[in-house]
Amino acid sequence: MLKQLFPIKHVAGYISSLVLSAVALVVLLDIPAGSKMAILLVTAVLQAAVQLMLFMHVGESEDKKSVYINIAYALFVALVTILGTLFIFVWGWYS
């Protein structure tokens, strides 16, 4: 019964998300500043992927192609908004 209620896929996903959160904490230690953002990006994206693939079953429906395009488009708009705004106000500001 326990095995039935706690499938290995879910348990593995849960543990990996806890581990990834813990790994992200190394940015609080004294490591090179350049690598910190990279670590945060990688752990966050991996965690999001864990949720999407293992928990949300993103690839299981008949519309999975549309769902993938939808998420990709959303990420495109998200990145453009964030990076474009930083480009305008921070990196590319007249000074």
Partner 1 sequence: MKWDEFFVTGEPLIYGAMVSIVLVSLAILFGLTYYKKWGYLWREWLTTVDHKKIGVMYIICALIMLFRGGVDAIMMRAQTAAPDMKFLDGQHYNEVFTTHGVIMILFMAMPFIFGLMNVVVPLQIGARDVAFPKLNAISFWLFFAGAMLFNISFVIGGSPDAGWTAYFPLASIEFSPTVGNNYYSLALQISGIGTLLTGVNFIVTILKMRAKGMTLMRMPMFTWSVLITCVIIIFAFPVLTIALLLMMFDRIFGSQFFTMANGGMDMLWANLFWVWGHPEVYIVILPAFGIFSEIISAFSRKNLYGYSSMVASMVVISGLSFLVWAHHFYTMGQGAMVNGFFSITTMAIAVPTGVKIFNWLFTLHKGRISFTTPMLYSLAFIPIFTIGGVTGVMLAMASADYQYHNTMFLVAHFHYVLIPGAVFAVIAGFHYWFPKVFGFRLNEKLGKTAFWFIAISFNVTFFPLFFLGLMGMTRRTYTYSAETGFGPLNMLSMVGAIGLAIGFILLVYNIYWSTRYQPRDKTGDPWDARSLEWSTPSPVPVYNFAVAPEVKGRDAFWFSKKNNEPLSNEKITKIHMPSNTGKPFILGIAFFFLGFFLVFSWWIPSIIAGIAVLIILATMSFDRDHGYYIPVEEIVQTEQKLRGDTV
Partner 2 sequence: MKIDASQPLEYGTEENRNRIFGFWLFLGAEIALFATLFTVYFVLADRHASGPSGAEIFEITPVLLETFVLLTSSFTIGLAVHAMRLGLKKQMMIFMIITLLLGAGFLGIEIFEFFTYVHEGVTLSTSAFASSLFTLLGTHGAHVTFGLLWGTAILIQLKKYGLDHSTANKSFIFSLYWHFLDVVWIFIFSFVYLKGLM
Residues that bind partner 1 (CB under 8 A): 63, 66, 73-74, 76-77, 80-81, 84-85, 87-89, 92-95
Tokens of 7: 């499938």
Alpha carbons 67 and 3: distance in angstroms, whole number: 31
The yes or no reply on residue 12 touching partner 2 (CB under 8 A) is: no
Quick count: other Cβ atoms within 10 Å of Cβ 24?
18
Beta carbons within 8 Å of 23's beta carbon, 6+ residues apart? 39, 43
Query: For binding to partner 2 (CB under 8 A), which residues are involved?
Result: 4-7, 10, 13-14, 17-18, 21, 24-25, 27-28, 36-37, 40-41, 43-44, 47-48, 51-52, 54-56, 61-63, 66-67, 70-71, 73-75, 77-79, 81-82, 85-86, 89-90
